[in-house]
Amino acid sequence: MRAKGLSEKCSWALLVLGLISTCVDGQADPVKVTVFVETLCPDSMAFVSKQLGPTWESLREIMVVDFNAYGFVEETPVGEGYDFSCQHGAEECQGNMVVECARRYIDNSDTFVDFSVCLMSSSFPPGEGENCAATVGAAWSPIDACANSVEGQQLLHDSGVRQNSLDPVPDYIPWIIINDVFTQEHLDEAQTDLTGLVCRTYEGTPPPVCQL
């Protein structure tokens, strides 16, 4: 009886060790993809619709996306808020505020990315907020109120602070960073094969889509 009990304990220990080994060998930290866009920038729209969206759809289990909207903006403090001049006009400023307000009011980070991808994959992102909120199951009213208020201006300003604190400071949009380290090679590859870049960067066992 004692020998049998010892055998059972050894078997259980080996099982636990095997499970731990599987977890260690098979999983790793997700690949972080940080993105700064302008909502009416053709290059930003193409990147999100052709690269980020499909990659997020197939590899969300091994990646996280830090999605930001700002770009090349001139801003002037006005009272408690700001007056913005965006590269592609006032409608772009509005679209950028929609993104930043969605960041604030969509609690689930994956849902926020889904919303942003939906928005930027449309033909006119600044006008698709309500439709995209409905598509991802998010409440549109607080986002809309925010984007049309001083709060939205403050949030867009904060996004500019984040962008301008990067090293190097972006001189191109979309600006794409992998695992918090910018390289020109990553920026170039992300715009042509983001799926391959994420698959290659992930340090765990890659999902089947990476084998295709």
Residue 170 falls inside a structural domain: yes
Domain assignment present for 75: yes
pLDDT at 26: 61
Q: What is the pLDDT of residues 125-143, one digit of tens each?
A: 999 999 999 999 999 999 9
Q: What is the CATH number of the domain that holds 163?
A: 3.40.30.10
Rounded mean pLDDT, 62-86: 98
- Helices within 27-183 (DSSP H only): 42-47, 53-59, 90-105, 109-120, 129-136, 141-147, 150-164
CB-based contacts of 204, cutoff 8 Å, min separation 6: 25, 26, 27, 28, 62
Stretch 78-97: mean pLDDT: 98
Residue 2 lies in a domain: no
Residue 17 has pLDDT above 90, yes or no: no
| Rounded mean pLDDT, 44-53 | 98
Q: How far apart are CA 158 and CA 210, in angstroms?
A: 36
Residue 35 lies in a domain: yes
Residues 202, 44, 165, 79, Cα dihedral to 10°? -140
Look at residue 135 and tell me if it is in a domain: yes
Task: Judge whether 36 lies within some domain.
Answer: yes
With bands split at pLDDT 50, 70 and 90, how would you rate the model's confidence at 152?
very high
For residue 41, the enclosing domain spans: 31-204
For residue 3, the model assigns a pLDDT of 42
For residue 115, what pLDDT is reported?
Answer: 98
Q: Based on the structure, what is the number of domains in the chain?
A: 1
pLDDT band at 27 (very low <50, low <70, confident <90, very high): confident
The helix/strand/coil state of 131 is: helix
Is the separation of the CB atoms in 178 and 186 below 8 Å? yes
Q: 191, 51 in Cβ contact below 8 A?
A: yes
The answer to the question of residue 20 being in a domain is no
pLDDT in tens, 192-211: 999 999 999 999 999 999 98
| % of the chain beyond a pLDDT of 90 | 86
Mean pLDDT to the nearest integer, 53-58: 98
Is 54 part of any domain?
Answer: yes
- What are the pLDDT digits (tens) for 104-117? 999 999 999 999 99
pLDDT tens for residues 153-174?
A: 999 999 999 999 999 999 999 9
